[in-house]
Amino acid sequence: MVFASYIAFLATIGNIIWPLFILDTIVDLIVTRIQTNILTRKENIVLATRAEYIGGYPKLPHSRFVYIFLEGTRENPLISILLPGLKGARFSIPVVDMTKATGLESDKYGSGGLAIFLTSVSSTVWKSRRIHFNIEYTERGRKQTVELGSFLRGNEEIHNWMNFLVCTQAEADTGEKPFGPWKSLPLEA
């Protein structure tokens, strides 16, 4: 009797929590897309998304969701990490000092879990691997590696970021605009 009432109680709680979870996911997705669209409308920002900061930047020791964006000028492009909710808490990685950017598939952090959103189904639903985006750069002669994962638009967005970083770095080095539709960073004043 007690067990049956306990099961009924859990079912009731489940019926309340699942719709709230789904609503929270929808609102989070909408708000995040609005914020990234606002960021990319700025002249000095080419690309923006939300990702999970896993580690590697010396001033950010713990894991959390962050906004990352490609900004700066043509001569000095930067990958910036912005902590949501903390006004002005921005950390930058110089793209010209970047030595490598890779998307690595791993199960290093365990199963990706259920990652279904209204707009896409992440590959982590079907297998327990997810892609982590590693950015290697040199600062003061020391090699640094920043690792990001769980991009807003899924694993496929990492390939777009790798292409943008290569093109931005090439444009900074040569001054030549990449082929195709491309938003160049402004020239330094």
119: domain CATH number is: 2.30.29.30
Unique residue bearing structure tokens 């690309």: 47
Residues in the chain: 189
Residue 182 belongs to some domain of the structure: no
pLDDT tens readout for residues 112-134:
444 333 333 344 444 446 778 88
pLDDT at 50 over 80: yes
Residue 180 belongs to some domain of the structure: no
Domain span at 6: 2-174
Query: How many domains are there within the chain?
Result: 1
Residue 183 belongs to some domain of the structure: no
Residue 188 belongs to some domain of the structure: no
Residue 118 belongs to some domain of the structure: yes
- Highest mean pLDDT among 2-6, 56-60, 113-117, 181-185 belongs to 181-185
Unique residue bearing structure tokens 């997705």: 29
Which is higher by pLDDT, 173 or 125?
173
pLDDT tens readout for residues 63-122:
678 889 999 999 999 999 888 766 667 888 888 888 888 877 765 555 444 433 333 334
Question: What is the pTM assigned to this prediction?
Answer: 0.72
State the sign of the Cα–Cα–Cα–Cα dihedral 23, 29, 32, 34: negative
Residue 123 belongs to some domain of the structure: yes
